[in-house]
Structure 1
Amino acid sequence: MKDFKKIFGSIVYHSGNILLAIIMLYPIIWLLSSSFKANGEVFINAHQLIPDTFHFENYRNGWAGFGNTTFATFFKNSIVITAISTLGYIFSCSVVAFALVRTEFKFKKFWFATVMLSMMLPKQVLLVPQYILFHKFNWINTFSPLVVPPFFAGPSSAFFIFLIMQFIRGIPKELDEAATIDGCGTFKLFIYIIAPLIKPALVTVGIFAVYWQWQDFVGPLLYLNKPELYPVSLALKLFSDPSTVTNWSNMFAMSALSLVPVILIFFVFQKYIVEGISSQGLKG
């Protein structure tokens, strides 16, 4: 009887997980299916996941882009923006977290509270003052508004800082004392002792930063007006033309391709995501 209950419970558990997985994956499956349909069939046969005819030319036509700008340019722009800003978040957030946990300075509690309160500040509140500031810097139509703020713990950094702080708090302070006795200053302590031990947290921050920057739409929409500077997230809207007919099949084809980099990153670094969120650093 106990074996039957155990087997039945296992079946229910796995069946429920499979059902939830199908529900969550259905939008992606529908997107892939629509990317192979003719433009007129996308919504007429929306319920049909397997197209009657696979139109592979949707990917070729979509990749051709607009005018003289292909999607290779858009992907390159996205990679440049995402890579530089991710490095900025990793550097600035780790330095700020180390300072808040391992160093002493005036008004430390005040600055920590300020960082935490910034998590409750709506991002939309910052759009106008940031735009005015960047406009005065002559940064409009450049990547600077998108890649420079992360190097100074810009917006959305509070979560990353808090995550890294939790890791650093789990590292025994005896390591700091031993390193100081051996002649390590604050900079060397961070570079040679703390940074290697918080690698899972840094990788987790990098992965989340990649996801957020890759899909960012509002930032590029505000600061970039030249199509040759558009990232993929902004270039996809060019398929939509309210005055004529939206090319849904090509849009879905390029949307499917835009998922490939983030999916690959997830599968390569998924163990760091789990470790970075669940672990609290070294255990005594």
Structure 2
Amino acid sequence: MALNSNREAMIRQLILVLLTAFMLYPLIWLFASSLKEGSQVFVSAHSIYPKGWHFENYINGWKGFGGITFTTFFTNTFIVVLASTIGSVVSSTFIAYGFTRIKFAWRNVWFVCMLLTMMLPFEVIMIPQYIMFNWFGWINTYWPLILPTFFGVPFFVFLIMQFIRTIPYEMDEAARIDGCNRFSIFYRIIVPLVVPAMMTSAIFSFYWRWDDFMGPLIYLSKPSKYTLALALKMFSDPESVTDWGNLFAMSVLSLLPVIIIFFSFQKYIVEGISTSGLKG
């Protein structure tokens, strides 16, 4: 019996190792290709091990193009990502608190309307938004990428609402007896208890904004304002020879913040999604 149990455990572990290798292979191939000579990337694409270690790909790639280095592109990306992440988390928490703790006219109707916006493809609102931001004079600025997040993100609102609903109303009533108003209850009682949901929202927002390509492509036209997604695309030139070594080297560096964020805050993802708030 014990032998069969050990055999099943070994089989499960073997399957997990194979699946892990299968999932990590693209990243391993990307890193190995970043150390190859650009002209040899696809010639020896079947081989992971580089024939020559070309670390200069990282130095040459960091120089960028048009006199603009990747220091500028990373800085631009961090500005957009951090500002939009703060805006989306803070505003979504306020909205979630209003939907769950404040009674107002047509609350359920407005909640349904908010959920319906989650079903709209970006292509439906892309042109109206561009016309509106162009009328504001915000084209070629970061405002179209940042400002909308300060009005809440429906998915984050829904996620935080589910977490707030696990917090007993008795805590609000006790806080009112102690003289707290709605805002005091919000930042003294609610916010400390929904930190896991807020962190989960922040992590998702960071991922989505870091990988966003369509937004910067629509609103940004000056290379000095490009984010990483656009800068990496500029390395690929279909009309000339693309330096794949430099492109893959910068792609590897662009993954580092995402990987660091994931391994640093992965526990919050589980806690936030499970909505394991305080049970009453």
Per the alignment, in what secondary structure is the counterpart of residue 67 of structure 1? coil
Task: Number of aligned residue pairs: give it.
Answer: 280
- Could you tell me how far 1:115 is from its partner in structure 2? 1.3
Segments of 5+ residues of structure 1 without an aligned counterpart are none
The 5 A counterparts of 1:109-128 are 109-128=108-127
Residue 25 of structure 2 aligns with which residue?
26
Determine if contact 2:141/2:220 at 8 Å carries over to the other structure. Answer: yes
Residue 169 of structure 1 aligns with which residue?
165
Q: Does 1:271 align with 2:267?
A: yes
- Could you tell me how far 1:40 is from its partner in structure 2? 1.1
Determine if contact 2:73/2:227 at 8 Å carries over to the other structure. Answer: yes
Q: 2:157, 2:11 → 1: CA distance?
A: 40
Q: 1:17, 1:176 → 2: CA distance?
A: 46
The 5 A counterparts of 1:11-22 are 11-22=10-21
- Could you tell me how far 1:280 is from its partner in structure 2? 3.1
Determine if contact 2:32/2:48 at 8 Å carries over to the other structure. Answer: yes
- Could you tell me how far 1:117 is from its partner in structure 2? 1.4
2:48 is matched by which residue type in structure 1? L
Residue 72 of structure 1 aligns with which residue?
71
Per the alignment, in what secondary structure is the counterpart of residue 120 of structure 1? coil
Q: What TM-score, normalized by structure 2, do the two folds share?
A: 0.98
Deviations 1:140-199 (A, max 9, x none): 11110011110011xxx2211111001100001100001111111111111111001000
Higher mean C-alpha deviation, range 118-127 or range 195-204: 118-127
The 5 A counterparts of 1:1-284 are 2-153=1-152, 157-284=153-280
Per the alignment, in what secondary structure is the counterpart of residue 118 of structure 2? helix
Query: Please, what is the CA RMSD of the aligned residues?
Result: 0.8
Determine if contact 1:166/1:280 at 8 Å carries over to the other structure. Answer: no
Determine if contact 2:39/2:243 at 8 Å carries over to the other structure. Answer: no
- Could you tell me how far 1:279 is from its partner in structure 2? 3.1
Question: After TM superposition, where is structure 1 displaced by more than 6 Å over at least 4 residues in a row?
Answer: none
Determine if contact 1:198/1:281 at 8 Å carries over to the other structure. Answer: yes
What is the percent sequence identity of the aligned residues? Answer: 53
